């Protein structure tokens, strides 16, 4: 069910990039990822798409500038994941620097669900008495919530990046690159990216009003470590615009110019901020923030990102680390249970997976869905019990199957099955009645069969083909590490044929190999794999600089291998 393929690469584009001064291997890598112009590689802030391209952003800036002048009370309603937490912290820091009276509230996912619901509006009105609610990383589907706020005389500014439904909420202003008629070229901004753009526009408006000049205006580039973290953790596509935001944030982290909470999260994760990478943000720092929203209360994560007290940040980071350890334990148990449920699952005769267990924690089902999707390579939805007979579902998808659109199709074919749903192409959430589970499983499978071909259900590991002998070096690894790789701009994965000199199992879980090619030998490791490979193997691998006893050597990180 898994095969290795080589990414197509335009020789002409690759050659043009090389002649433009790009490293010969990087020229080939960039060309195969669709990059055609060396200018798209710029990581300077000046190369960002200007804010004016975002629909209604000027109206949002004028409205917020007026609100600051009138000293109106603002409350941010944030989502409870890493993107929501970084968006909230970015908005709080940015708005306060511009003189706003602003507070925040994060819905407890288990009590209030997702987004600006009427219940959250009532809670916010009761506890914070705001004049204005600003949503970050949510709100585009909150039609009832916005209506409830209007009835209470509260204006709502929606900042979001999720795909809208057929109807938009009647908010005072909506800023979302994915709303109809918005011509903004970077549709892939994360929630935190949208907030950052709103702050840029607001600062420009305050300059126009003479509140600030170029010298006295707040330095919004101070927020880029938060923007980079939220962008990577939300797994949005790293198009040219997002790569600039991430590159600038990582540059600040490597220089030690990051917020106390981000520094503490690096430290508690055992990672070096001075060599920060998108991998660190996505797999070490981000999960520790996310754990708070999954098991506890994301207010803890937001406090970590908004405090300037290093001692307080470190204490919270340790709490977040403990919560993450607990999340891992819960996840491991849930995964074992899921595999028991799927004991007789036949991938060959199924296009999708739907699985439910009475004991599951709804804060962790998304990760379990992700693990099952990786294992079986099928769009997967996992369900946990909600309250009063409802089930909460979280789904993850495979390339070519737009999950939110698939749920929309289920909803149109069987209007009574889904209570509510939302999300992206690759991840979505939904709520159904417990008694509708079997009917939903069947309807979702029918949509899967209609939309997915047998070819799409085969896992293809896309590689960049062979790597020339001269580049199996730590120097070349530094060249690769100098770029921003991630979702939609995949890190380099090479493939070649090797003689397998030796292989043994490490810690009963990993395969350690010694590989030989053209007389050169390389250490290699295949994590989470124990089955031996033959004497000759075709290996898909990443390059890694492995430091041991003060000596740094090239090591191959095996992604997949098949007999040669």
Domain termination site, one of 211, 235, 256: 256
Q: How many CB atoms lie within 10 A of CB 446?
A: 16
Per the domain annotation, does 261 fall within a domain?
A: no
What integer pLDDT is reported at residue 107 of this predicted model?
77
Q: Is 90 exceeded by the pLDDT of residue 214?
A: yes
Is 280 within a domain? no
Q: Is 210 left (phi over 0), alpha (psi -120 to 50) or beta?
A: left
User: What pLDDT, on a 0 to 100 scale, did the predictor assign at position 187?
Assistant: 96
Residue pair 244/42 in contact by the 8 Å Cβ criterion: yes
Q: What is the mean pLDDT of residues 492-501?
A: 98
CATH classification at residue 226: 3.90.1640.30
Is there a contact between 346 and 300 (Cβ–Cβ < 8 Å)?
no
Query: Are 408 and 531 contained in the same domain?
Result: no
For residues 552 and 175, what is the distance between their CA atoms, to the nearest angstrom? 48
Confidence of residue 188 (pLDDT cuts 50, 70, 90): very high
Can you give the CATH number for the domain in which 411 is found?
A: 3.10.310.30
Q: pLDDT of 376-387, one tens digit each?
A: 999 999 999 998
Q: Are residues 435 and 511 in the same domain?
A: no
Residue-wise pLDDT for 530-547, tens only, equals 999 999 999 999 999 998
37 within domain boundaries = no
The pLDDT score that the predictor gives to residue 387 is: 87
Same domain for 492 and 468: yes
Q: Do 140 and 160 fall into the same domain?
A: yes
Is residue 218 in some structural domain? yes
Q: How many CB atoms lie within 10 A of CB 110?
A: 16
Q: What percentage of the chain has pLDDT greater than the value 90?
A: 92
Average pLDDT, whole number, for the chain? 95
More confident residue, 39 or 398: 398
Residue 423, pLDDT score: 82
- The pLDDT value given to residue 422: 86
66 and 179 belong to one structural domain: yes
pLDDT in tens, 117-146: 999 999 999 999 999 999 999 999 999 999
Q: Using the 3D structure, point to which of 228, 256, 284 is the last residue of a domain.
A: 256
Distant-in-sequence, close-in-space partners of 234: CB < 8 Å, separation ≥ 6? 81, 82, 83, 190, 191, 192
What is the structure's pLDDT at 424? 82
**Residues 80 and 229 grouped into a single domain:** yes
What pLDDT score was predicted for residue 199?
98
Among 394, 425, 457, residue at a domain's last position: 457
Q: Is residue 28 part of a domain?
A: no
Q: Give a three-class secondary structure readout of 102-126.
A: EEEECCCHHHHCCCCCHHHHHHHHH
Q: Are residues 526 and 551 in the same domain?
A: yes
| 392 DSSP assignment | E
Q: Are 382 and 358 in contact (CB under 8 A)?
A: no
Domain with 135 in it: 51-256
> Residues 104-124: what's their mean pLDDT?
87
Question: Within a domain: residue 112?
Answer: yes
Cα gap 434→212, rounded to integer Å: 56
pLDDT of residue 69: 98
Residues 403 and 476 in one domain: no
**441 domain residue, yes or no:** yes
Which pLDDT tens digit goes with each residue over 64-96? Answer: 999 999 999 999 999 989 999 999 999 999 999
pLDDT tops 80 at residue 111: no
428 with 523, same domain: the answer is no
Considering the domain architecture, whether residues 418 and 489 belong to the same structural domain is answered as: no
Helix (H), strand (E), coil (C) string for 303-361: HHHHCCCHHHHHHHHHHHHHHHHHHHHHHHHHHHHHHHHCCCCCHHHCCCEEEECCCCC
Q: Considering the domain boundaries, does residue 180 fall inside one?
A: yes
Residues 411 and 425 in one domain: yes
Q: Which residues of 269-298 are buried (b: 16+ CB within 10 A; e: fewer)?
A: bebebeebbbebbbebbbbbbbbbbbbbbb
Residues 199 and 211 in one domain: yes
> How many structural domains does the chain have?
3
pLDDT given for residue 445 in this prediction: 97
pLDDT (tens digit per residue) in 454-470: 999 999 999 999 999 99
Listed residue (123, 81, 133) closest to 103, CA to CA? 133
Q: Report the CATH number that the domain containing residue 554 is assigned in CATH.
A: 2.40.50.460
pLDDT band at 425 (very low <50, low <70, confident <90, very high): confident
Tell me what percent of the residues of the chain surpass a pLDDT of 70. 100
pLDDT at position 94 is 98
């Amino acid at each position: 069910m898994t095969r290795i393929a080589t990414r197509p690469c335009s020789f002409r584009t690759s050659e043009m990039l090389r002649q433009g001064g790009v490293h010969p291997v990087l020229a080939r890598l960039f060309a195969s990822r669709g990059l055609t112009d060396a200018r798209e590689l710029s990581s300077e802030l000046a190369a960002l798409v200007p804010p004016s391209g975002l629909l209604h952003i000027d109206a949002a800036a004028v409205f917020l500038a007026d609100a600051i002048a009138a000293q109106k009370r603002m409350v941010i309603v944030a989502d409870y994941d890493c993107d929501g937490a970084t968006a909230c912290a970015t908005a709080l820091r940015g708005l306060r620097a511009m003189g706003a009276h602003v507070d925040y509230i994060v819905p407890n996912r288990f009590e209030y669900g997702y987004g600006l619901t009427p219940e959250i509006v009532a809670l916010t009105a009761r506890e914070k008495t705001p004049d204005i609610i600003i949503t970050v990383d949510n709100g585009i589907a909150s039609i009832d919530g916005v209506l409830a706020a209007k009835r209470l005389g509260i204006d709502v500014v929606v900042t979001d990046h999720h795909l809208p439904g057929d109807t938009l909420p009647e908010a005072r202003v909506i800023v979302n690159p994915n709303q109809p008629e918005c011509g903004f070229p970077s549709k892939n901004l994360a929630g935190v990216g949208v907030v950052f753009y709103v702050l840029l526009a607001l600062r420009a408006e305050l300059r126009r009003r003479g509140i600030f000049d170029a010298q006295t205006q707040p330095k919004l580039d101070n927020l880029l470590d938060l923007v980079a973290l939220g962008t990577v953790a939300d797994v949005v596509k790293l198009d040219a615009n997002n790569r600039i935001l991430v590159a600038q944030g990582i540059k600040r982290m490597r220089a030690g110019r990051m917020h106390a909470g981000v520094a503490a999260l690096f430290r508690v994760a055992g990672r070096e901020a001075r060599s920060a990478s998108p991998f660190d943000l996505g797999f070490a720092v981000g999960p520790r923030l996310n754990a708070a929203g999954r098991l506890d209360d994301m207010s803890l994560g937001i406090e970590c990102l908004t405090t300037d007290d290093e001692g307080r940040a470190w204490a919270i980071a340790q709490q977040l680390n403990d919560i993450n350890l607990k999340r891992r334990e819960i996840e491991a148990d849930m995964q074992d249970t899921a595999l028991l449920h799927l004991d007789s699952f036949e991938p060959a005769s199924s296009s999708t997976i739907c699985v439910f267990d009475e004991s599951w924690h709804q804060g962790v089902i998304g990760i379990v869905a992700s693990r099952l999707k990786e294992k079986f390579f099928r769009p997967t939805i996992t369900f946990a019990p909600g309250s009063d007979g409802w089930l909460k579902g979280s789904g993850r998808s495979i390339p070519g199957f737009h999950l939110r659109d698939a749920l929309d199709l289920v909803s149109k074919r069987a209007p009574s099955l889904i209570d509510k749903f939302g999300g992206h192409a690759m991840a979505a959430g939904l709520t159904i009645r417990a008694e509708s589970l079997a009917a939903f499983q069947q309807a979702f499978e029918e949509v899967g069969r209609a939309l997915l071909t047998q070819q799409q259900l085969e896992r293809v590991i896309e590689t960049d083909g062979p790597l020339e002998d001269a580049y199996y070096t730590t120097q070349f690894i530094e060249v690769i590490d100098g770029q921003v790789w991630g979702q939609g701009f995949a890190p380099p994965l090479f493939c070649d044929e090797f003689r397998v000199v030796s292989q043994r199992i490490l810690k009963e879980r990993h395969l350690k190999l010694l590989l030989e090619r053209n007389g050169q030998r390389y250490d290699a490791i295949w994590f989470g794999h124990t089955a031996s490979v033959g004497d000759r193997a075709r290996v898909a691998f990443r390059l890694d600089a492995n430091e041991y006893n003060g000596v740094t050597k090239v090591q191959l990180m095996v992604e997949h291998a098949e007999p040669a």
